[in-house]
A and B are shown apart, each in its own frame.
Chain A
């Protein structure tokens, strides 16, 4: 079945540091790929997504590129802020007439001033 593997946290960075959270996936066909973010005490919200190979999703300074050849969708940000502290989930959804999203385990990011 489909699966998503992402690095376990927590990840602790100083403000303005470079962030990479790795995500690789296993799926049949060409799934859509997502990064969701969960701030403390809230539900998940979409951060960015990509629906086909070589697409780059970007939002709020975060970026991720759909790499079919390496089945990866790594999340990056050039300069993190304290307000980026949250849990980040990589996810995939198969193409087709239904959506059964598979989430990674989540990576907790803590940014310290």
Chain B
């Protein structure tokens, strides 16, 4: 158990809909990262938040947005969903934001868009 929790575990929805994925980092970790894992794209970094502020951005679509709240939990919002958004979405956390830090991954949310 990494100490990172993600809800829900599974999500089935339809094209055009909007969903929110939630992540609670390990106790004391200030950084939260979001990743998308799909069969054809592998593991793609989406976005990082550090202590409530956006810190780094990866291959995140404009239809996707995220935020980190004062209690450090984070939400990833996916809107106007398309079939190709079906994937595993992982959240990870680390104590600060140093490049040498280990990231601790949650169990993931499996999203299926029908």
Contact = CB atoms under 8 A, between A and B. Distances in A.
A46 B3 CA distance: 14
Nearest to B44: A103
Interface residues of A, number: 26
A95 B2 contact: no
Contacts, number: 69
B55 interface: yes
Interface stretch (B11-19, B63-71, B95-103): B95-103
A79 B25 CA distance: 35
A100 B105 contact: no
A104 to B, nearest CB: 8
Interface string A82-103: 0000000100011111111111
B33 to A, nearest CB: 7
A112 to B, nearest CB: 23
Nearest to A93: B99
Interface of B: 2, 4, 31, 33, 42-43, 45, 48, 50, 55-56, 58, 90, 92, 94, 97-108
Which 9 pairs from chain A and chain B are nearest by CB?
A43-B105, A32-B100, A93-B99, A103-B43, A100-B56, A44-B105, A51-B100, A105-B42, A95-B99
